[in-house]
Amino acid sequence: MKTVRQVNTVCMQGMKRIAFCVCFLYLCAMEKQIRAFIFDMDGTLLDTESLSFRSWRIAGTEFALSPRQTEELNRKCMGANESSIRRILEETFADSAKASQFMRRTSQLFSSMEAAEGISLMPHAREALEHLKQNGYRLAVASSTHGDTVRRQLGNAGLLGFFEALATGDLVRHSKPDPEIYLLACSRLSLPPCECAAVEDSPNGIKSAKAAGLFSILIPDRIKADAQLIKTADALYSSLRELEEHF
């Protein structure tokens, strides 16, 4: 006769096997269901956010903002389109003219940095896109950045050709976390949201993708993932390389 400890051990082993099987079957079903990946651009495919943060920090000093105020303001605007950023800045400065001046200054600084340094790819970006493409997944972009900028930056990085559809900030009325941009991307792929996965680095992006009904994959960049964000996302990866491991 088995002891209580032996029975517990057997039960625990059985539960682990069941949990593994459930997890395995879920992943298999997920892989069969997902037909397309829709990527955020800034901080997910391209390391634009390091340049953005530096340009905002310089502009913040020029506009008498403390480093903490500038960082919080930059965080609020991360993932937002131009009209939403303008609204946030107008609320911050309580002055539409000053908000416009701040936007122009950050844009000037960013453009100067981009021209001088270029924009780096996020780690494993090209390899992940090549892997997904080779395995038959369709690819699209959902970026709050203006379409002309998205095409230029992805083109300069040699990534534009991977994508068959672009949904950009100038094409939607409501910015992330509203689901509009992801619904537009799905529409341009002629696929329902349940057959698409979103790859994002920001809270606003994950909220947008989840609200649209996509499977959401979080790969944090500048914003550290807190418990609530991890709970909201369907999957948490450390880098784009994990896409190659799971799909």
Question: Would you name the residues annotated as active-site residues?
Answer: 40
Token pair of 48 as six digits: 């634009």
Question: What counts of helices (H) and strands (E) characterise the chain?
Answer: 11, 6
Q: Tokens 């947008």, residue?
A: 208
| Eight-class DSSP state of 140 | E
SS3 content of the chain, % helix, strand, coil (to 5): 60, 10, 30
- Classify burial at 4, counting beta carbons within 10 Å of its beta carbon; exposed 0-12, middle 13-18, buried 19 or more: exposed
**Does an H or E element contain 212, and which?**
helix 203-212
Strand order in the sheet with 36-39: 165-168, 138-143, 36-39, 196-200, 215-218, 235-236
Question: Phi/psi of residue 236, each to 5°?
Answer: -120, 120
The beta strand positions in the chain, using DSSP E, are 36-39, 138-143, 165-168, 196-200, 215-218, 235-236
Q: Three-state SS string across 30-75, please?
A: HHHHCCEEEECCECCCECHHHHHHHHHHHHHHHCCCCHHHHHHHHH
